[in-house]
Amino acid sequence: MRIAEARVIVTCPDRNFVTLKIITDEGVTGVGDATLNGRELAVASYLTDHVVPQLIGRDPTRIEDTWQYLYKGAYWRRGPVTMSAIAAVDTALWDILGKIAGLPVYRLIGGRSREGVTVYGHANGDTVEDALVEVARYVDLGYRAIRVQTGVPGMASTYGVSKDKLFYEPADAAIPTENVWSTSRYLNHVPTVFKRVRDEFGPDVKLLHDVHHRLTPIEAARLGRSLEPYDLTWIEDPVPAELQEGFRLIRQHTTTPIAVGEVFNTVWDCEQLIREQLIDYIRATVVHAGGITHLRRIFDLAALHHVRSGSHGATDLSPVCMAAALHVDVAIPNFGLQEYMRHTSATDQVFPHGYHFEGGYLHPSETPGLGVDIDEELAAQYPYRPASLPVNRLEDGTMHSW
């Protein structure tokens, strides 16, 4: 069996997605997500111009060899564009292998370690009262873990607070929207939010909060300490992660757990954080960290250092990525949580899938492969639409972290 064709499909059913479909000479197909939010066409070009020609004629079952060929053979290693392209190939090949074997992918990578995958949803609102309403909705839906974000008093807008509460898409304009940010207002506000949530919903629901890389290490330490009475499962991305030594300072001052890694692309981006146990959850994803093959390496390293998985699962990760993530989540020994932002009905129609939500858990498909596909005819009805994530400036106009 050989790879006969590979197609790159760009579509926008309410938001942009890039999908790679690999077809063998025996008619077996596999799909992989290659979406890089706001830079989708860069990955599409990388695949079309540089990767697809190298795939034709290769044995689709040589997954590890193909991964090494694409990673080492390019000379220019790592980076989000390269690793998203490699991830798409890797994910599609695992899909094909599962179909050849007649097994769901999780059974090829060790089988079940748990019955279901605990997921968390996003409760947000312009005010604390609005956010409490959304927390109640997620509790009613059966979620066991909920991320809580609110607007900051005195700020006109806040990243992470959406107009549509169930289907949140932050990439809102071709030219990035600019928000104004105040760290002092934020630090004073957030503890009051979680006091209200705990008072209203008690100690059992897992609570999370995303800082979006906006603080310095000492500011993040202050936030973590101020949230200790409310027993958060984690604070996410408290500081930009380029200077990883900064996490040591946070650790010295707070016991609030830390999650980081949705923007990481390889094990080398998080090796120090994991090895020194400076984080508690690693949020790398199938699509941005080199596919199932490489993400398992990251999680294996994490397991040796008491770090659990907490994979990113925003709407810019297509149902193909979510399907692949669930197969990994259900198999690894050190699973923590899986983010789950629901896709719109248009997206779900373009990407028919077999995973489902029940009782606070997502369950992977039991069909051979990943249990997801792309309807190419329907995808063609949704052309690409430029969209960028917003940026932040301080009140004096200085550019700030995302």
Q: In the Cβ-directed half-sphere of 323, how many Cα atoms lie within 13 Å?
A: 31
- Are the beta carbons of 82 and 74 closer than 8 angstroms? yes
Q: How far apart are CA 302 and CA 306, in angstroms?
A: 6
Mean pLDDT over the full length of the chain: 95
pLDDT tens, 172-231? 778 888 888 889 999 999 999 999 999 999 999 999 999 999 999 999 999 999 999 999
Least confident of 77-86, 135-144, 150-159, 364-373: 150-159
Give percent of the chain with pLDDT exceeding 90: 86
| Greatest pairwise CA separation for the chain in angstroms | 62
Which of 21, 66, 20, 22 has the alpha carbon at shortest distance from 43? 20
- Are the beta carbons of 120 and 311 closer than 8 angstroms? no
pLDDT score at 176: 83
- Identify the band that residue 164 occupies on the pLDDT scale cut at 50, 70 and 90: low
The residue to which tokens 């010295």 are assigned: 252
Secondary structure, 3-state, the chain:
CCEEEEEEEEECCCCCEEEEEEEECCCCEEEEECCCCCCHHHHHHHHHHHHHHHHCCCCCCCHHHHHHHHHHHCCCCCCHHHHHHHHHHHHHHHHHHHHHHCCEHHHHCCCCCCCCEEEEEEEEECCHHHHHHHHHHHHHHCCCEEEEEECCCCCCCCCCCCCCCCCCCCCCECCCCEEEECHHHHHHHHHHHHHHHHHHHCCCCEEEEECCCCCCHHHHHHHHHHHHHHCCCEEECCCCCCCCCHHHHHHHHCCCCEEECCCCCCHHHCHHHHHCCCCCEECCCCCCCCHHHHHHHHHHHHHCCCCEEEECCCCCCCHHHHHHHHHHHHHCCCCCEEECCCCCHHHHHHCCECCEEECCEEECCCCCECCECCCHHHHCCCCCCCCECCEEEECCCCEECC
Q: How far apart are CA 314 and CA 285, in angstroms?
A: 10
pLDDT tens, 356-382? 999 889 999 999 999 999 999 999 999
- Are the beta carbons of 330 and 364 closer than 8 angstroms? yes
Higher-pLDDT residue of 241, 84: 84
The residues, ordered by sequence, that sit 6+ positions from 314 with a Cβ below 8 Å of its Cβ are 37, 168, 170, 262, 339, 341
Is residue 76 packed enough to be buried (19+ CB in 10 Å), middle (13-18) or exposed (0-12)?
exposed
pLDDT score at 402: 63
Query: How many residues does this entry show for the chain?
Result: 402
Higher-pLDDT residue of 398, 224: 224
Q: How far apart are CA 330 and CA 22, in angstroms?
A: 25
- Angle at which helices 319-331 and 291-303 pack, to 10 degrees? 40
pLDDT score at 209: 98
Catalytic annotation, pick one of 71, 120, 143, 159 = 159
The residues, ordered by sequence, that sit 6+ positions from 348 with a Cβ below 8 Å of its Cβ are 319
Mean per-residue pLDDT for 304-311? Answer: 98
Mean per-residue pLDDT for 70-76? Answer: 91
- Identify the band that residue 63 occupies on the pLDDT scale cut at 50, 70 and 90: very high
Which of 307, 305, 362, 304 has the alpha carbon at shortest distance from 336? 307
- Identify the band that residue 154 occupies on the pLDDT scale cut at 50, 70 and 90: confident
Query: What sign results for the dihedral spanned by CA atoms 160, 165, 166, 172?
Result: negative
pLDDT tens, 15-47? 999 999 999 999 999 999 999 999 999 999 999
Whether the predicted pLDDT of 159 surpasses 90: no
Q: Is 212 a catalytic residue?
A: yes
Whether the predicted pLDDT of 74 surpasses 90: no
Rounded to two decimals, what is the model's pTM? 0.96
What is the number of other CB atoms lying within 10 angstroms of the CB of residue 358? 9
pLDDT tens, 80-95? 999 999 999 999 999 9
Looking at the DSSP bridge assignments, the partners of residue 339 are 120
Catalytic annotation, pick one of 212, 288, 327, 343 = 212
pLDDT tens, 245-265? 999 999 999 999 999 999 999
- Are the beta carbons of 213 and 246 closer than 8 angstroms? no
Q: How far apart are CA 338 and CA 341, in angstroms?
A: 10
Whether the predicted pLDDT of 157 surpasses 80: no
Whether the predicted pLDDT of 165 surpasses 70: no
